[in-house]
A and B are shown apart, each in its own frame.
Chain A
Amino acid sequence: MSRAENTGKFGQYGGQFVPEVLMPAVEELTDAHRRYVVENEDGFIDDFRKRLRNFGGRPTPLGRADNLSERYGHDVYLKREDLVHGGAHKLNNALGQALLAKYMGKDRVIAETGAGQHGTATAMACAYLGLDCEIYMGRTDINRQRPNVFRMRTHGADVNPVDVGSGTLKEATNEAMRDWATTVEDTHYVIGSVVGPHPFPTMVRDFQAVISEEAREQSREVIGSLPDAVVACAGGGSNTMGAFHHFVPDDAVSLYAVEAGGSALGVEEAESYAPNSASLGTGTVGVLHGARTKLLQTGEGQIVESHSVSAGLDYAGVGPELAYLVDEERVTPVNVDDDDALEAFHRLSREEGIIPALESSHALAYLEHADFDEDDAVVVNVSGRGDKDLDTVIEESAKRDLDIAPDMEVFR
């Protein structure tokens, strides 16, 4: 597989589609990524790994889910990114980039956030490293992820509500890019996923790749061999690329990227709306937020508003490397709908004692539909914990009258 790391192209995908005012910054960042992250200048990587351990709580366990294994008739192992400090894999990247900002001599950090997990992780990392932090978050997301807003504020970050459009991740990203275009000289923009202009897709993947590096090592001990499949949810794709990266050369390991099927597939052109976030499997090629990738868009090229019950998956684009790996048939894109994800949320909570994020619930829900053999060992990446989603889950479960959901009526 040929991948041009230097130009940021993955086949036809990737690139640097940004305003000229940002080009010197992405060039500077490309250089910093190469020196500090790839070549370990000034011991950056050693410092990063030490902090991942001592602040982030890594490594996270890979453990067998006995009840799920029994239910599905094959071995299910959970990679527990929900146990990373802050409750999601997002810290791996936020800590890496905030540390990089420090090494680059930039003392202000901005970030966009959807579900608020990336914003929270960035706010934590900035508090820890002594950096100024401002988070852009859509108004809709603020309303559905209130606890994370309070967490960010508690860590000292400013949260800037974005009121335009649907008030979700897409608009928050636009606004963060505009801030960066004004403040690029002293500010680092911590993109939260494997999206955006080069070097972000490569750099974020490098920081998240610790997930598959650990899982691959742990699987030899825990499973006794490499797994037969790795399953991860995909919105922008940072936990996906993190969980897949070190398995990509292992052809015998199948890789499943589970997208949000929302309430229905397809794009409703007239409404400029997609009732899903399944850009990787069902989108078309275009350019958004600095990269050529797969998008949910109209035939004319207007980006549509996406939907998922999970705020963290609700995005019209996806990382360019994932789009490439799908075209190469190395990664299989699949999707599950909102109902499936809610059921999976309750199932893991009830049967394994783990409350998963609604994002991760998509990966878990795929087990219901998949057709694995009984001697298969399947690793599912539990990308985050679901405490932040409880309000949404209670409300959405009541709407659907889900049998598996506990009755909360008396407490509401």
Chain B
Amino acid sequence: MTRADVRAAFEGEPALVPYVVAGDPGVEETKAYVEALVEGGADVVELGLPFSEPIADGPTIQAAIRRALDAGITPRDYLDLVRDLDVDVPIVCMTYYNLLLQYGADEAETPEDLDVSAFVADAAEAGVSGLIIPDLPLEESDELEAACEKHDIALVYIVAPTTTPERAERILEHASGFVYVQARMGTTGAREDVSGDTHASLDRLREKNADFPLAVGFGISEREHAREVVAGGADGVVAGSVFVDIIAEHADDGTAAERLEEKACELKTGAREGAE
């Protein structure tokens, strides 16, 4: 699937974009979890590729990343996992920039030649339709943007509560797939309520581009949150820590997949209600 498919996932009814960490607790489990999430109503799945220094992630996802790294997942294992997935929704890879840089390092003759296109090419071939790189702001992303365009996969940018209107405008100009609207300050993690900043961000982005898909994430864990952000103008909701928590608690008792499906279904229902 291509970047156009990522964008198309937000057309019609509001989209649900769940996130889980690949390889937590193991690659086989992740396959089952992704399938369960799609069964529960996921329209895009954001699949984390673990990096040792996840500076944009809160404690829940940090711990999941640590478990996955301890279990031994590598970037090549990750791409094999994506290749083996039997789902019909776009897979978006969330990871940090250094892993992309090192992926092709073996072929680079000098350090200056480090090149992210080797990863992008293999990711596209494996079936990844988009990338989210939280430590890569617009200022540093020319090279990756070109590689993503060449291989027709989306490069999803984040808009934060601190993003100025001028920056938001530039981000929209470069965006492909969807824009990830960070609902609050700080790092990822499930919270009690949805921040008022979110509505202001959505309104501002809508003014610039009425059509481009906007998905809200950071802190969404309940049906009511999903309803609220969609009612506030979002085209989709991203939820991560709530799913990662379910895996942490229930990977061992064998009920994780079924609970993930239920949670996805609940959030999707909330999103639909928000659109009514």
Contacts and interface: CB of A to CB of B under 8 A. Distances in A.
Interface string A263-293: 0000000001000000000001111111000
Interface residues of A, number: 39
Contact of A301 (B98, B112, B186): B98
A20 B74 contact: no
B209 interface: no
B105 interface: yes
A178 B103 contact: no
Contact of B105 (A17, A21, A164, A284): A284
Contacts of A181: 55-56, 185-187
Contact of B162 (A24, A177, A284, A301): A24
Interface string A1-15: 000000000001001
B156 to A, nearest CB: 11
A22 to B, nearest CB: 8
Contact of B97 (A22, A164, A287): A287
Interface residues on B, range: 35 or more
A326 to B, nearest CB: 11
Interface of A: 12, 15-25, 164-165, 170, 174, 177-178, 181-185, 272, 284-290, 295, 297, 299-304
A183 B114 CA distance: 34
B101 interface: yes
B100 to A, nearest CB: 8
A15, A164, A285, A304 pick with most chain B CB within 10 angstroms? A285
Contact of A20 (B75, B98, B159, B186): B159
A309 to B, nearest CB: 23
A285 B114 contact: yes
B251 interface: no
Interface in B161-186: 161-164, 167, 171, 182, 185-186
A19 B185 contact: no
Contact of B182 (A20, A170, A304): A20
B163 A17 contact: no
A21 B160 contact: yes
A14 to B, nearest CB: 10
B106 A18 contact: no
Contact of B111 (A19, A285, A287): A285
